[in-house]
Amino acid sequence: MNNTPEYLDDTDPEKNHNYYRQDHGGMITNHNGIADKLLKNNDLYNAMKGNWTRTETNKSKNIITTTGREDGKFYIKREQLNIKRILQDVKNYREAAERGIPDPMAPLMPDGTLGYKWMELPKVISIRISDQYFGGLPWNAIKNDRTLKAQFYRVVETEYPQYVCYPGGKLPIPVAVPYPTKSGEKKYFQGH
């Protein structure tokens, strides 16, 4: 019996970054065996071919997501049921902040003073902004990049000011960033 451990050689393992993409596998690609088998299933293909719809709610029962196919086009429709409550909470918070009432749960500002919450954005609007301006990149990924986060805040401040909690409705965005371009629009650059 040999007790010498086996060691890996010095070569780094190769990574296939395609596996990190959200659209890899399943029925979206046909280069893997499972999808090939599903695409050859005529009954399944015919069942998915016509018009159909599926509706479900999230765990907290405040977002209804409807997916389906109509006239040959797939769609996703999201409806958030607690938007009126969120708007009322934002209005109350902003009024209190403008009166100078401190928020002990608010973040610290760069100068070390206690600030105010920046926004209270419904999940469906966050997804809409992500889809329209950031190619579907979710807010949880956007907020880790300083520039993308600042651009996201600019979109909220401009297009959805009713969800801005900060006093006066103007966010103190610390980075000067260009307004993001909607997907499908041309990007224009201005020269000097």
Q: Determine phi and psi for 133, rounding to 5 degrees.
A: -115, -25
Position 38 confidence tier, pLDDT thresholds 50, 70, 90? low
Place of tokens 């977002």: 63
- pLDDT at 73 (0 to 100): 81
Cα distance between residue 111 and residue 101, in whole Å: 19
Better-predicted residue by pLDDT, 152 or 2: 152
Q: Residue 70: its pLDDT value, please?
A: 85
Instruction: Identify the CA nearest to 148 among candidates 139, 159, 157, 160.
Output: 139
Helix 123-133 and helix 146-159: axis angle, to 10°? 110
**What stretches of the chain adopt beta strand conformation (E)?**
52-57, 63-70, 73-80
Q: Please give the distance of CA 185 from its chain centroid, rounded to a whole number.
A: 20
User: Mean pLDDT across the stretch 42-70?
Assistant: 82
In whole angstroms, what is the distance from residue 150 CA to residue 5 CA?
51
Lowest mean pLDDT among 1-15, 26-40, 87-101, 172-186: 26-40
| Chain segment 93-135, per-residue pLDDT in tens | 999 999 988 888 888 777 778 888 899 999 999 999 998 998 8
The rounded mean pLDDT for the chain is 79
